[in-house]
Amino acid sequence: MEMGSREMSIRKIICLLLCLVLLVGATACSPGGSTDGDSTGEPGSASTSKPAKGTKKETIVFWNMYWGNDKFADLCQELVDEYNDTHDGPAVELQMRPWATYFQDYLTAVTTGNAPDVACGSGDNSLLYGRMDELVDLTDIADAWKEDGFYDTFPAGSFELHNIDGCQYGIPWIIDARCMFVNLEMFEQAGVTIPDRGYFTFDELYQACKKLKAAGIEPMVLVGTDFMNDQCINYLTVAAGGSHGVDANIQADVNSPRNMEVYNWIHKMVEEGLIAEESLGFTADQQIGVFAADSCAIIISNLERITSPSKYGKKYDVLPAPVWNEGDPVRNIAYINPMVVFSQTSYPEECKEFVKWWVENNGILFEEGAANFSASSQINSSDAMMKNPRNRAIIEKILPHTTYYTYPCEHLFNAVVPLGGEAHLGHMFAELLENKSSVQAIADKYQAIVEQLIEENPEP
């Protein structure tokens, strides 16, 4: 990349980051409210820090976020202590960071020369800071895992996603999938049968919702506000084999033929009352609350944590995403967030060693810390993970079919930051739910918006 274009790219990314300060949630995998022992462990105050074990002066500062329940931070410290006890060299110092000031904290630290050595956070970190020449290439870790087979336990394309301009700037470590949750008792009451393949086509889902409505059951509740509106339409278009508004060549295709078929399917569902009218004003938490209260049969959500896991496979279940045509591949969108090493570190090799160890040995964060799921199927397959019926359903039915929300793009691209951060297609989904304009007019409006985003945020 030539210096002039690189400086322009850096300025653009910094501007985008500043614009995103108030928009955390759409492109980042961040914790949501939860109960049933899965409440987030993030305090309301600023960051907390526990000193590294021992008396070593040299340290690797590790910024981690509050991903799981109230045990999560302590479990992270236990892992860091274990690493320090078993490895020579600089000690790792864990610093837990709050999501509320996430973008400000990272941007300020990086641009003032005070970046942490190792960090995790937004799924876009590999792009944002890689394009600013602020990250260490972690190809060595990927190569080592290719040699021992661990690489093959990660979702296909998850490393390519964080490979920016030929550099492996991010190592996938945590995965947050979007899922279809269903009420089996309501299905039985309405005479709805899940196909033998275990998931619906879009037409079969439409027919199932008609049966539910005829039986006096609210078929489907979705989300018209907050970050989940963007993710609902993302889930549906990618599941059908369309895209989230950008094709594999990073060209706008909001109004592509398949996407248009999905938008018209949404329109039909709204017109016939198969998607609850209240969806337009619902947040993600409200949607999950309605499902947990047995007031609807189907939702699309990130992780339904309100009802007891023991009821999954009995009263509730998780289904793979629908397909457009029978025989099409199943695609469930997921957010696969990376570990990164900032190039300001004095210990790049030691940081690589820690990142590799962390991803290989942090199963307890998912087993006891409720941090969604590991990006590695080997970590997810532990007895502790599989004995939880809800976890097992997602691990077995959803995670084998995950693809990133930028599908069919295999890596992140500059325009994806404002596209997701400003939830443009989420606003489009809200307009489809509102049903006041023609589907074609809505699609054309957002096609123009995405074309402009790509023009304003070109690839280097």
pLDDT in tens, 348-381: 999 999 999 999 999 999 999 988 999 999 999 9
Q: Do domains 3-177+335-404 and 179-333+415-456 have the same CATH topology?
A: yes
Dihedrals φ, ψ of 333, to 5°? Answer: -70, 150
User: So where are the chain's domains?
Assistant: 3-177+335-404, 179-333+415-456
Query: Which amino acid is present at 194?
Result: I
* Listed residue (13, 76, 55) closest to 370, CA to CA: 76
Q: How far apart are CA 340 and CA 343, in angstroms?
A: 10
Alpha carbon distances (Å) from 437 to 234, 282, 430: 20, 20, 11
Residues contacting residue 65 through CB under 8 Å, at least 6 positions apart: 30, 31, 96, 97, 98, 99, 102, 120, 121
Radius of gyration of the chain (CA): 22
Max mean pLDDT range (97-106, 335-344, 401-410): 335-344
Residues contacting residue 216 through CB under 8 Å, at least 6 positions apart: none
Q: How far apart are CA 310 and CA 317, in angstroms?
A: 11
Q: How far apart are CA 289 and CA 274, in angstroms?
A: 18
Q: How far apart are CA 125 and CA 417, in angstroms?
A: 10
Half-sphere exposure of 378 (CA within 13 A, CB side): 13
Q: How far apart are CA 9 and CA 1, in angstroms?
A: 10
pLDDT bin (cut points 50, 70, 90) of residue 420 is confident
pLDDT bin (cut points 50, 70, 90) of residue 170 is very high
Q: Which fold has domain 179-333+415-456?
A: D-Maltodextrin-Binding Protein; domain 2 (3.40.190)
Q: Name the token pair of 426.
A: 């989420």
More confident residue, 329 or 16: 329
Dihedrals φ, ψ of 49, to 5°? Answer: -140, 135
Half-sphere exposure of 326 (CA within 13 A, CB side): 7
Give CA 24 to chain center in angstroms. 12
Max mean pLDDT range (54-63, 392-401, 417-426): 392-401
363, 75 contact by CB (below 8 A): no
pLDDT in tens, 216-260: 999 999 999 988 899 999 999 999 999 999 999 999 999 999 999
- Write down the CATH number for the domain with range 3-177+335-404: 3.40.190.10
Q: Is the pLDDT confidence value at 178 over 70? A: yes
pLDDT bin (cut points 50, 70, 90) of residue 393 is very high
pLDDT bin (cut points 50, 70, 90) of residue 174 is very high
Mean pLDDT of the chain: 88
Q: How far apart are CA 381 and CA 384, in angstroms?
A: 8
Residues contacting residue 438 through CB under 8 Å, at least 6 positions apart: none
Dihedrals φ, ψ of 81, to 5°? Answer: -60, -40
pLDDT in tens, 124-133: 899 999 999 9
pLDDT in tens, 308-320: 999 999 999 999 9
* Listed residue (240, 118, 220) closest to 169, CA to CA: 118
Q: Three-state secondary structure along the chain?
A: CCHHHHHHHHHHHHHHHHHHHHCCCCCCCCCCCCCCCCCCCCCCCCCEECCCCCCCCCEEEEEEECCCCCCHHHHHHHHHHHHHHHCCCCEEEEEEECHHHHHHHHHHHHHCCCCCCEEECCCCHHHHHHCCCCECCCHHHHHHHHHHCHHHHCCCCHHHHCEECCEECCEEEEEEECEEEEEHHHHHHHCCCCCCCCCCEHHHHHHHHHHHHHCCCCCEECCCCCHHHHHHHHHHHHHCCCCCCECCCCCECCCCHHHHHHHHHHHHHHHCCCECHHHHHCCHHHHHHHHHCCCCCEEEECCCCCCCHHHECCCEEEECCCECCCCCCCCEEEEEEEEEEECCCCCHHHHHHHHHHHHHHCCHHHHCCCCCEECCHHHHCCHHHHCCHHHHHHHHHCHHHEEECCCCCCCCCCCHHHHHHCCHHHHHHHHHHHCCCCHHHHHHHHHHHHHHHHHHCCCC
pLDDT bin (cut points 50, 70, 90) of residue 42 is low
Q: Is the pLDDT confidence value at 57 over 60? A: no
pLDDT in tens, 4-36: 333 344 444 444 444 443 333 334 444 443 334
Of all residues in the chain, the percent with pLDDT exceeding 70 is 88
Q: Is the pLDDT confidence value at 69 over 90? A: no
- Section 157-180 average pLDDT: 94
pLDDT in tens, 91-146: 999 999 998 888 889 999 999 999 999 999 888 899 999 999 999 999 999 999 99
Q: Is the pLDDT confidence value at 53 over 80? A: no
Query: Which amino acid is present at 404?
Result: Y
pLDDT, residue 43, reads 52
Number of residues written out for the chain: 460
